[in-house]
Structure 1
Amino acid sequence: MKELVNNLKGDRVIWTFVALLALFSFMPVFSASSNLAYIGQGTGNTISYLLKHLAHIFIGLIIIFCVHKVPFHYYRGLSKFALPIVWILLGYTLIKGTVIAGANASRWIQVPFIGISFQTSTLATLVLLIFVARYLSKKREEEIGFQGSLIELWLPVFTTLSLILPANFSTAALIFSMVLMLTFVGKYPIKFLGAIIGFGVAALLLFILLSKAFPDSHLFSRVDTWESRIENFSTDKPGEDDYQIEKAKIAIASGGIYGLGPGKSVQKHFLPQSSSDFIYAIIVEEWGLIGGFGILLLYLLLFFRFVIAAHKANSLFGKLLVVGLGFPMIFQAMINMAVAVELLPVTGQTLPLISSGGSSIWMSCIALGIIINVTKKDEEIAQELSDKAKREAALQKLIDKQLEEENEDAMNANENYSIEDNTNIPMNAVLNK
């Protein structure tokens, strides 16, 4: 264990907060998944859901460990080639998306031969923000032109958003907001940002108008849901407006200051998304305001640590990576909590590292691994380079030794050959000499 801890490089505080959130997640997920265990012909056994979440968290921690070993500048070039692959996946998801627990059919795809579902928009968010950070760091010493940036930066951004928007407005809006924030931090000209925002609003209005003109099209099937959520904070199911949010508020009110106790939630049996979208309400019901504010404090401390990491980063690309990958995670958590207390309409955003779900956890872990790699201190990087140099020196020494042995064998073989040749010389030739 000590050796494993010593191999954890980067900001130890971020490691600690991630571990705390991951460990805490087991209790509310185990409790909130009881309603899922009774769906259909279920027996009410929640152990399988707990083991599934354990596997997701365990794989996620392995992902963080592996990713934080890879120098973050490698992702600069990788994002350029990964973005077209993401577009293909998003397009395939729109056409062949599957239904997950009654959710909209165009958000998930089934991974062949593995049997797990994957939300492609989470991968798209990660790749797109790295791509934007790459562009801004590449142009740091150049004057950015509006026409050039339209092709190099905003065309890929709006292509990605247009493939996410029909199925998931909240995710598309969050990504667009994070891209605007990242470009602002990266000193993209503010005078151009106004035009980009205007273009984005106009594109959204055009999409809504097209949905009214072609109401039966599968592409515009979610527009009515957006409108009802904005107007009434409603759910996807007709006739059940405000059902989930009302149950979430009852759960929060029932929790009081100290909560009902772990596993004693009542509203988990009535909230369809109690282990994912509305898990914060279950946390407050069981752990009270103390538990609710405790989780909020952990995310705020993690946000504060991201700010410090961005400030200490040695390169602009590293700073933008921390901002682009870390801040959306915190904002997503704030949105999830705000929905539970009815400050925002239902959005479908999960609580990072706590809500159940594989793809959302793993994408968060990839982002955290990259951020932790950025936070590596100079001495840690120097130590890694020194270890690498030592390994290369040892390998070179082994190769030299092998070559030396091969040369010695060759010389011995030549000497033996010479002796054999001399023994074959006729005796009369020797006497004549």
Structure 2
Amino acid sequence: MLARDQRTPFSDWWWTVDKLLLVAIAALMLAGVILSLAASPPVATRIGLDPFHFFNRHVMFLVPSLLVLIGVSFMTPRQIRRTALVVLAVSIGLIVLTLLVGPEVKGARRWITLLGVNIQASESAKPAFVVVAAWLFAESTKRPEMPATSMALVLLLTLVSLLVMEPDFGQTMLILTVWGALFFIAGMRMIWVLGLAGAAGAGLFGAYLLVPHVAGRIKRFMNPASGDTFQVDTAMEAFWNGGWFGLGPGEGIAKRSLPDSHTDFVFAVAAEEFGIILCLMLVALFAFIVIRTLTRAYTTEDMFARFAASGLAILFGVQATINMAVNLQLIPAKGMTLPFISYGGSSFVSLAYGVGMMLALTRQRPRTEIESQEGASSLRAYA
């Protein structure tokens, strides 16, 4: 048992980290392992792989993800700012490289292979972008003369432009939503928030007019008879088949024909085999993580920690909401993973990085430490 008077890095972390939040994240990861075992074997068998190929890789990605999550949660706010700036710069560079030399799959360039590892750089860019944007907004509240808000807008336009070029409109809308929420939390005038929302709506309408892929998904959502809706229809059938308590582990039918049952539609597999009760428990876990982080964020007087933790919580919650809403046919289909539940290496590690920063930013720190961090939070901190 660790004593409170012990002064080691681990004891300092243990007595300041939010243990309830840590337990909820661990429960979500455990649920992901169980659901990967339930959903992935039929997909692997269908494409000629070992039945446990995706499950084994899911567990394999879990190990580095845990190391990243715990390691990042030890960081101070200053270290988080510096690391996020580096991660964002590297991610933007990899996105540019992907656009230049990445393979085209279904009309999009989103992946690049480096040293035998498939990397989706947009995944690591998301949490790093949120932290850097939060730092800029925090600076704008303390130094009105500094053009931090303009810098945050330029950063947003740069990342969004690259994502649109891939194209990846799901990630684009996610980034815009979180940036707009941060803009509002930072105390910006409502007229600017409404203006940005209008610009985002105009951009979506433009994508509908100019990009056949986007138009097709929206048309199929509005009028299912206008195209192939096999995956979303099968997902809805899974919810009906499962009922409240499910058909039982391994007894699901939808996963035998759903191409993305281990990624985009794992929530439907959970409903069919374990029932709506389990799905509601997953929703409760996601909601607890988001609300707990927001609550802890607003108890700190460090504006950067408050904005960054809030932005990361919103990013985590909105991504989960999009995935579950697609499964329930509430919004048009998007390629968005369910955090820590869906299969995906880049997504898993990037989520662990984001959640690790949430844990770090919501740790209980003495007032003297917060003041020293605030005093160092300037552009010179990156020098």
Cα distance in structure 1, aligned partners of 2:54 and 2:207: 39
Cα distance in structure 1, aligned partners of 2:232 and 2:140: 45
Amino acid of the structure 2 residue aligned with 1:33 = S
Shift of 1:200: 4.3
Partner SS for 2:249: coil
2:177 corresponds in structure 1 to: 177
Match of 1:94 among 85, 91, 99: 99
TM-score by length of 2: 0.85
Cα distance in structure 2, aligned partners of 1:47 and 1:205: 42
Cα distance in structure 2, aligned partners of 1:207 and 1:250: 30
Shift of 1:241: 1.0
Match of 1:39 among 36, 42, 46: 46
Match of 1:306 among 253, 278, 293: 293
Report the RMSD for the aligned CA atoms in angstroms.
2.9
2:112 corresponds in structure 1 to: 109
Output one character per residue of 1:255-287: Cα deviation in whole Å (capped at 9) or x when no partner.
011101112111101100000100000000001
Shift of 1:381: 9.6
Equivalent residue runs for 1:271-350 within 5 Å? 271-350=258-337
For the structure 1 residues 121 and 369, does the alpha-carbon distance in structure 2 shift closer, same or farther, using more than 3 Å as the test? same
1:122 corresponds in structure 2 to: 123
Output one character per residue of 1:361-398: Cα deviation in whole Å (capped at 9) or x when no partner.
1111111111111122236998xxxxxxxxxxxxxxxx
Output one character per residue of 1:329-382: Cα deviation in whole Å (capped at 9) or x when no partner.
111111111111111111111110111111111111111111111122236998
Cα distance in structure 2, aligned partners of 1:356 and 1:195: 37
Partner SS for 1:38: helix
Cα distance in structure 2, aligned partners of 1:150 and 1:139: 6
CA contact (8 A) 1:161 1:172 kept: yes
Cα distance in structure 2, aligned partners of 1:5 and 1:267: 45
Cα distance in structure 2, aligned partners of 1:109 and 1:19: 30
Cα distance in structure 2, aligned partners of 1:127 and 1:272: 31
2:376 corresponds in structure 1 to: none
Stretch moving more, 178-187 or 303-312: 303-312
Cα distance in structure 1, aligned partners of 2:2 and 2:144: 50
CA contact (8 A) 2:94 2:121 kept: yes
2:356 corresponds in structure 1 to: 369
1:227 aligned to 2:215? yes
Cα distance in structure 1, aligned partners of 2:367 and 2:69: 17
Cα distance in structure 2, aligned partners of 1:245 and 1:78: 39
2:151 corresponds in structure 1 to: 152
Shift of 1:227: 0.6
1:191 corresponds in structure 2 to: 191
CA contact (8 A) 2:88 2:124 kept: no
1:419 corresponds in structure 2 to: none
CA contact (8 A) 1:144 1:189 kept: no
Match of 1:241 among 222, 228, 233: 228
CA contact (8 A) 1:27 1:262 kept: no
CA contact (8 A) 1:144 1:188 kept: no
Cα distance in structure 2, aligned partners of 1:150 and 1:314: 20
1:354 corresponds in structure 2 to: 341
TM-score by length of 1: 0.76
- What is the aligned residue count? 360
For the structure 1 residues 380 and 275, does the alpha-carbon distance in structure 2 shift closer, same or farther, using more than 3 Å as the test? farther
Shift of 1:206: 5.8
User: Higher relative CO (CA 8 A, sep ≥ 6), structure 1 or 2?
Assistant: 2
Partner SS for 1:378: coil
Match of 2:37 among 22, 26, 30: 30
1:48 corresponds in structure 2 to: 53
Amino acid of the structure 1 residue aligned with 2:39 = A
Unaligned runs of at least 5 residues, structure 1: 212-222, 383-433
Output one character per residue of 1:88-132: Cα deviation in whole Å (capped at 9) or x when no partner.
221222233336xx6654111112x2x221111111211211111
CA contact (8 A) 1:87 1:160 kept: yes
For the structure 1 residues 61 and 80, does the alpha-carbon distance in structure 2 shift closer, same or farther, using more than 3 Å as the test? closer
For the structure 1 residues 76 and 346, does the alpha-carbon distance in structure 2 shift closer, same or farther, using more than 3 Å as the test? same
Cα distance in structure 2, aligned partners of 1:340 and 1:312: 35
Equivalent residue runs for 1:407-418 within 5 Å? none
Shift of 1:46: 2.6
Unaligned runs of at least 5 residues, structure 2: 4-8, 370-383
Shift of 1:83: 3.7
Shift of 1:80: 4.2
